[in-house]
Amino acid sequence: MSTGHDQTHLKSLRARFDRYILDGIPELKRLGYNPTQFLEMVERYRGVVGATKQLLADPRHTSYGFQRLYELGKLQFSVEFAACLPWFDELFEPHEINEARTRLLTHGFPLDARLAAVTANPPEWLSDL
């Protein structure tokens, strides 16, 4: 059974995940990709985590947004990459993280190298959780 602290922690972590993804959208727009379908999913599934879980639920295909980021060479902006970041792993089930990893690796994304680079300089907010 979860304690109030656990719920507060998860709520804070969900908010950080939302910010992490949503803060990248201006750069995507600058590159010519406006993720309107994803933003509609964020509304429908009550947040970025819910939308991400929905996207990862079907292992048979990748989303239009993932394909668009692949074409732009920007898979580091994908929810799949964000789900693989160690500070967000509490938000996802092991099979969801595995699906995210599989999609990235299947598309030639240097996941382990990118994760090593990002985790070498973790976000300052981690100490606040």
Burial class (CB in 10 A: 0-12, 13-18, 19+), 65: buried
Can you say whether residue 110 is alpha, beta or left, with left for phi > 0 and alpha for psi between -120 and 50 degrees? beta
Write down the residue that tokens 């981690």 correspond to. Answer: 126
- Asked whether the predicted pLDDT for residue 15 surpasses 80, the reply is yes
Q: How many Cα neighbours within 13 Å face the side chain of 121?
A: 3
User: Any idea where the domains of the chain sit in the sequence?
Assistant: 4-128
pLDDT in tens, 52-92: 999 999 877 889 999 999 999 999 999 999 999 999 999 99
Amino acid (1-letter code) at residue 45: Y
pLDDT given for residue 1 in this prediction: 47
- Asked whether the predicted pLDDT for residue 51 surpasses 60, the reply is yes
- Global pTM reads 0.92
pLDDT in tens, 84-129: 999 999 999 999 999 999 999 999 999 999 999 999 999 998 887 7
pLDDT given for residue 96 in this prediction: 97
Write down the residue that tokens 């973790």 correspond to. Answer: 122
What proportions of the chain, in percent to the nearest 5, are helix, strand and coil? 75, 0, 25
3-state per-residue secondary structure call for 83-119: HHCHHHHHHCCHHHHHHHHHHHHHCCCCHHHHHHHHH
Residue 75: φ, ψ to 5°:
-65, -15
